[in-house]
Amino acid sequence: MVSSSRDGGSAEKEGMARGIPYGPLTLTIAMQTLATMAAFSAPTLAPKIAEDLGVDGHLIGFFVSTVYGIGIFSALLSPDFIQKFGAVRVAQFVMLGVVAMLVIAGSGGFNALALCAFVLGIGYGATAPVSTHLLIPRTNPKVLNLVFSIRQIGVPLGGVIGALLLPVFAVNLGWRIAFWAQIIPAILLILSFQIYRKSWDRDKNSAHRLFRGELWRPLYLLRDNTLMRLLALASFSYAGVQLCFIGFMALHLTSRTGLDLVAAGQVLALYQIAGVTSRPLWGWLADRYISSIRLLGLLGFVMAATAVAAGQMSEVWPIWAILLVAVFAGATASGFTGIAYGAYAAFGGQYRTEATALGSSAMFAGVLILPTIFGLIVGDMNHYWQAYSLMAAIVFLSGLWLIVAKPSMD
C-alpha cells in the first residue's frame, strides 16, 4: 500500500528534486492565497454586510473561527484522501470549496454566511498537506526550508490582497459582487491544476480504503514521536500568540499608548510586512546555517521577549520603540510558519504529509484557543501585561524544549 506521504518514488526517479519546483510552488502559493482571501472576506466586508443585513458586525468575526475550527479536522483527514485521490485532486477540491463558499456567501443572508464558513473549512485544512505532498519530492533538500517559507507567503498575501481589493468592490459594486469576483481566479486555478494532474498524481493509490488505519496517522505521530509533540506544542503556542498580536494590537495601541486608529493600523501593517519579509530569511538560514528545530526555538525566545515588551507599552513610549516591537513580533510570531512546516516535512520521514497535517491542526487550535484566553485576561484584569506575560511564558517554554530537543528523537 502506498502512503499519502510516501510520494517521492516516481518524482524522484525522474530527477525532479533538483532545486526549486517553480510549477508546484506557484500553484500551491496561489491556492493558499485564494483560500486565505476567501476566509478573510467576511470579516473584511463586515461593515457593509452588517449594514445591509441589519446584524451585529461583530458576529461576522466568528466566520474565521468557524473556518479554522473545521480546518483542524480537515487537516487531520486530508492525508487519507490525498493517498486515494492524489494531491492535485484534493487541491482542486479545496478550490471547489472556495468557489462554493463564494457562491453561497454572495447569494444568501446571515445564515448563508454561517453555512459557507463550514463549507470553506472542510477544504481549508488540506492546503498545507497538499503542498507538502507536491513540493517535497520535487524540492532539493538544500532549499527545503526556503521553498516552504516562500509558499507560506500565500497566507499574508491573501489577507493583504483582500484588504486592498474587496472594500473597493464592495463600495462600488456591492459586497455580494466582492464575493463573486473571487470565483473567476478560483476556477482558473482548478483548471490549471488539471493540466498537471496526470503527472503529479501518479503516486495516488485508487485501491486505498478511506477511514481505515491510515486515517489516524497524524495522531499516531503525536502519540509516538517526541519531536512531533514538541513541534505541535510550539506550533500551537506560536500561532496562538501570532493571533494575539494581530487581534489586540490596534486596540492596545489606541487605548494605552495614545496613538489614533490610523497610526495603530500602520503599526499593525508593519507587523504584517515584517512577517512576510522574514519568512524567506528564516528559510534561508535554516537551510544553510542552523537546523529548523533550533531556529524555531530561538524564535520562541525572541517572541517571548517581544511579548513582554508589548505588555509594557504605554503613552511614555516613543514611536520608534513601538515600531521596533511590531517588527520583532511580526518577524517571529508571524514569520515562523514556513520553517515550521519545513520541519514537519523533514522530520516526518515517510509520513511527512501526515506530519504537516498535524502541524496545521495544531496551529489552527492555537489560533482558536490562545486569543480567547488572552481576551478573557484583559477583560477581567483590564491590563495587557498579565496576558502578554502568560503568552511569553508559553512560547518561551516551547522554544526551550525545542532548543534542547534531539532532532532524531522518537
**CA distances, 225 to each of 35, 72, 177, 285 (Å):** 31, 20, 48, 25
The conformation of residue 291, written as its DSSP 8-state character, comes to -
Mean pLDDT, residues 247-254:
81
Which of 143, 176, 211 is a domain's end point?
A: 211
Q: Is residue 1 part of a domain?
A: no
Q: Please check whether residues 399 and 327 belong to one and the same domain.
A: yes
Q: Please check whether residues 285 and 355 belong to one and the same domain.
A: yes
Q: How confident is the model at residue 407 (pLDDT cuts 50, 70, 90)?
A: low
Write down the pLDDT at residue 308: 95
Which of 211, 229, 250 is a domain's end point?
A: 211
Q: Is residue 409 part of a domain?
A: no
Write down the pLDDT at residue 134: 92
Write down the pLDDT at residue 241: 92
Mean pLDDT, residues 85-109:
91
Q: How many CB atoms are located within 10 Å of the residue 198 CB?
A: 10
Residue 409 pLDDT more than 70? no
Residue 364 pLDDT more than 80? yes
Q: 209-236 pLDDT, tens per residue?
A: 888 777 788 888 888 889 999 999 999 9
Residue 410 pLDDT more than 60? no
CB neighbour class for 187 (10 Å; exposed up to 12, middle 13-18, buried from 19): middle
**CA distances, 379 to each of 312, 356, 382 (Å):** 17, 35, 5
Q: Please check whether residues 269 and 395 belong to one and the same domain.
A: yes
Which of 166, 194, 211 is a domain's end point?
A: 211
Q: Is residue 410 part of a domain?
A: no
Number of domain units in the chain: 2
Instruction: Give the three-state DSSP class for 139.
Output: strand
CB neighbour class for 116 (10 Å; exposed up to 12, middle 13-18, buried from 19): buried
Write down the pLDDT at residue 1: 35
Q: 183-211 pLDDT, tens per residue?
A: 999 999 999 999 999 989 888 888 888 88
Distance CA 398, CA 332 (A): 13
Q: How confident is the model at residue 402 (pLDDT cuts 50, 70, 90)?
A: very high
Q: Please check whether residues 150 and 253 belong to one and the same domain.
A: no
Q: Do the beta carbons of residue 103 and residue 183 sit within 8 Å? A: yes
Q: Do the beta carbons of residue 366 and residue 236 sit within 8 Å? A: yes
User: Which CATH number goes with the domain that contains 154?
Assistant: 1.20.1250.20
Q: How confident is the model at residue 21 (pLDDT cuts 50, 70, 90)?
A: confident
290 is in which domain, residue-wise?
Answer: 217-404
Which of 64-73, 256-265, 381-390, 398-407 has the lowest average pLDDT? Answer: 256-265
Q: Is residue 357 part of a domain?
A: yes
DSSP one-letter string for 240-270? HHHHHHHHHHHHHHHHHT---HHHHHHHHHH
φ and ψ at residue 109, rounded to 5 degrees: -105, -150
Q: 278-326 pLDDT, tens per residue?
A: 999 999 999 999 999 999 999 999 999 999 999 999 888 999 999 999 9
Q: Please check whether residues 242 and 188 belong to one and the same domain.
A: no
Cβ neighbours of residue 236 closer than 8 Å, sequence gap 6 or more: 362, 363, 365, 366, 369, 370
Q: Is residue 4 part of a domain?
A: no
**Residue 15, Ramachandran bin (φ over 0: left; ψ between -120 and 50: alpha; else beta):** left
Nearest to 72 by CA among 358, 406, 381: 358
Distance CA 340, CA 346 (A): 10
Write down the pLDDT at residue 379: 79
- What radius of gyration, in Å, describes the C-alpha atoms of the chain? 21
Average pLDDT, the chain: 86
Percent with pLDDT over 70 in the chain: 93
The conformation of residue 19, written as its DSSP 8-state character, comes to B
Q: Please check whether residues 262 and 322 belong to one and the same domain.
A: yes
Q: Please check whether residues 196 and 289 belong to one and the same domain.
A: no
